[in-house]
Structure formats: structure tokens, C-alpha cells
Chain A
Amino acid sequence: MSSWEDEDSAAASAAATTDVELLKRAWRNEKAAPEILHFDSALVSRAREQIQLLEETLDDFTDNGVDDLVVSLYQMDLDRTLFLLRSYLRLRLQKIEKYMAHIANSDDLLSRLSQQEQRFAKSCKEIMEKHLEQSVLSKLPYGYDSVTRQSLSSTEDDMVPEPQLDTFVFCKTKSDVGAFQLDDIGEEVVDLVADDLYVLRYKSIKGLVEAGRIDLI
């Protein structure tokens, strides 16, 4: 009996972890999380390869006169995957544009970006700084001409947009997490049961999202 169940669950998990499924999860998490998440370069390059392969196959199909119906079905599959990938990449670019100064300040955040994204973040920041410098800051009096600080008397970078990490997010647990502490002092504890839906503070479940134990929706 137990071997049957094992096979079943193994089959189910294999089915649930196609690259499209993984990409969809990454896309949803990225969309729902206030900050930029880790870029899964292995996954993205696998998706790219599969897309390219299917594009080539489709070319062959049209050359070989394969049934229009079959071609159109494969085309839909291709379009859906392309949409996911594009939307995922664009979403990340949007976040980078928005928080470029904040990301550039932190090695941890920078390490979450792909090579191309890092280059994008860097040049985006340079261009923006140059633009602000030329159009506004150079005309402001001394002490008020910083991109990142309101004035000389500011003790920290108070003009750098940062993602709001204590915002609330909708999430779904994949498996039992058990009693989970939401704050630092242990006043707020919730019991996270498998496959349930919660609205929680992003900051407190950040670790679970990164470990892939919980999905944002």
C-alpha cells in the first residue's frame, strides 16, 4: 500500500515541478513580494532553451506540412511560456528601476540580480543621477544638492525609495510549518497548516518564501 502512495506522490511532485510550473511560482512570488527576490538563472536559462527548441520545432512543422491544428496548439503553448518569462523579467526590471539606489547600496540585494540585471541597475542609476544633477541639483544651493539626502543635516540617506517590507501579503502554505513566530518577542504566533491561506506581514515570512516553503499569491 505504502509503495503505491509513494509512487503517487512522487508522480504528483514530478508533475508539479515542470519548469513552467516553477517559472509560474517564481513569477507569482515576484509579483506579490514587495522587494526583489533571488533570480533563478538556471530556471530561466532552461525555460529559454525550451522556448528556442519549440520555436525550431515549429519551423520544421510548417516546412513539413504538419496539421494546422497541431501547429496552433504548440504555438499557444509557446505563447503562454513566452508570456510568463517576459512578464517575470519585466517585473524585475520594474522593481530595479524603482529601487535602484537602494539595491546598489546593498551587496545582498545586488547578489539577487542576474548579470544583465546588475548592469541594467548600474547604468540606470548612473543615468538617473546624471539627469537629476544636470536638470535640478546643480541649480540648488550648497547642502541641498545630494541625490540621496534631503540636506547636509540628514544623518542617513532619506531620499532613497525602499520597498516596504512590513506590508501584508497573501500566501499559501505548501506543507505544515507548525507554530511560527511573526514578531521578535514571541507575542504573535500562528500555526501554519499545509495548504491554508493566510494574510501575513511579508517581513516575518520572508525566510519561508526564500526557502520555498510558502507561496505568495
Chain B
Amino acid sequence: MAGQSDPHLSLFSPSEVEFVAEDEIVEIVPNIRMEALNMICGDFGPFFPQIPSKVPLWLAVALKRRGKCTIRAPEWMTVERLTQVLDAERESPREFQPLPFHYIEISKLLFDHARDDITDAYLVRSLIEDIRDVRFHKVESGLETISGRTHAVKLKNLSAMEVNIVRPFMVRTLQAFYKHDSPQMIQQADNTGSRSTPVTDRGPRRDLRRR
């Protein structure tokens, strides 16, 4: 039958999600003098030693790798803030705490390239991992609540990478329920049922709806 959606066409790869995250703005402290950069993606600088400046993450990482700056870890990447988030995350089993949309990718890039710029890097990292685990567990248990009556799902504060991971499961589940619950489908089943197919075919479908 026509219309099977191609799963590969509409999926972002993890590196594509990271690519998008690399445009997030971070603060750097350069140790060199450099003219302003008038780039396609925006104008940044001029840069002076020890004067903080705001640049996209990819630019910050490029400068950092060449030893030209230190990156200031974002406000939310501190032990204190993350401990609060983790506690709140554990206390509310059905809600996600507000975190930057790209918190997973940003923290990964900073850990990979600017580890020495993060205070308590080890602790911060394990806190972020814990937060990820708790949140993902919620996503998984959230999937169980989808039923034939679900026509929309609201996922306040879910992050980009989390969306990307859960997308195939979520879309296929919703689609399967939508397809089998549509009036057309049920009518069709009734019609064919009254004509030739045995009645047993109708049983389970009815049960599903009444639930």
C-alpha cells in the first residue's frame, strides 16, 4: 500500500542535532586580540584579552582547541543548580524541569573540549548523567500512557536530544493507535465482518475502544 513513511527521511542523526546545538551562544574569555568576525551566521567580536565576549559554541570550541580562549561554563552547569534540578526532577514524576533545549549536546561538547574550564567537572558530569537518566525514565513511562484516545501529546521542556531518541517510538505508537482507532477503520472492519470475516475479528477491536 502506498503511504508508508520512510523512517530515514524524517530523522535527525545525533550529529545533526549536535550541529544545531553548536549555534547556541556561550561566553568566552579570549587571551588574544582579534578583529571582529563578520560571518554569514552573524557578527562577533572584536576580541580583546581578558574581555568576555559572546560567540556561538562552535566558534568557542574552535578557539579553545587552539588555546586562544577559555569558555565560561553556562550558569546552569554548576553543581548547585544541577543538584536542584535533579531533586526537582525526582520529586515530580510527570514533569520535566526547564533546562536549555540543547543541554545534553552543550554539556557533551564542553566536557570534550573545555573540561578544564568547568568547576567540579567530575561532579557536574555525573549530575547531568543522573538528570538524563531520570528524565529518560519519565519519557519511557510516559510512552505507556499513550492510548487510542491520544490525539496530542504535550512534552513541556523536553530537550532536543531527548526528542530525537524518543521520536521513532512515539510516532509509531501514536500512528498505530490513530490508524486502528479511526472511525473509517472500525467501519471497514464492521462491514467486512458482516459480510465474510468471522465475528471474532471484531471482538478485540471493540474491547480496545471501550477500555
Q: Report which A residues bind B (CB closer than 8 A).
A: 15, 18-21, 24, 28, 31-34, 47, 50-51, 54, 67, 69-70, 72-74, 76-78, 80-81, 83, 91, 94-95, 98, 158-164, 166-170, 182-183, 188, 190, 196-201, 217
Q: Are B9 and A73 in contact (CB under 8 A)?
A: no
Per a CB cutoff under 8 Å, which of A67, A95, A198 touches B153? A198
B40 touches A51 (CB 8 A): yes
In the complex, the chain A residue whose C-beta lies closest to that of B96 is A197
- Distance (whole angstroms) from the CB of B112 to the closest CB of chain A: 17
Q: How far is the CB of A130 from chain B (nearest CB, A)?
A: 21
B157→A197 contact, CB < 8 A: yes
Mark B27-66 against chain A: 1 for CB-CB distance below 8 A, else 0: 0000000110101111000000000000000110011001
A-B pairs with beta carbons under 8 Å apart, 9 shown: A20-B42, A32-B10, A76-B59, A158-B2, A166-B175, A168-B170, A169-B171, A199-B174, A217-B160
The one of A47, A167, A182 in contact with B171, judged by C-beta atoms closer than 8 angstroms, is A167
Number of A-B contacts (CB under 8 A): 123
Q: Which residues of B contact A70 (CB under 8 A)?
A: 34-35, 37
Q: From residue 105 to 164 of chain B, which have CB atoms closer than 8 A to chain A?
A: 151-158, 160, 163
Taking A31-B10, A31-B12, A168-B171 as contacts, is the C-beta distance between A80 and B41 under 8 angstroms?
A: yes
Q: Is B68 engaged at the interface, CB distance under 8 Å to the other chain?
A: yes
Pairwise interchain contact B10-A197, C-beta atoms closer than 8 A: no
Q: Within 8 Å CB of B41, what residues of A?
A: 18, 20-21, 77, 80-81
Task: Beyond A21-B41, A76-B62, A201-B178, list 4 extra A-B contacts (CB 8 Å).
Answer: A51-B40, A166-B175, A170-B163, A188-B152
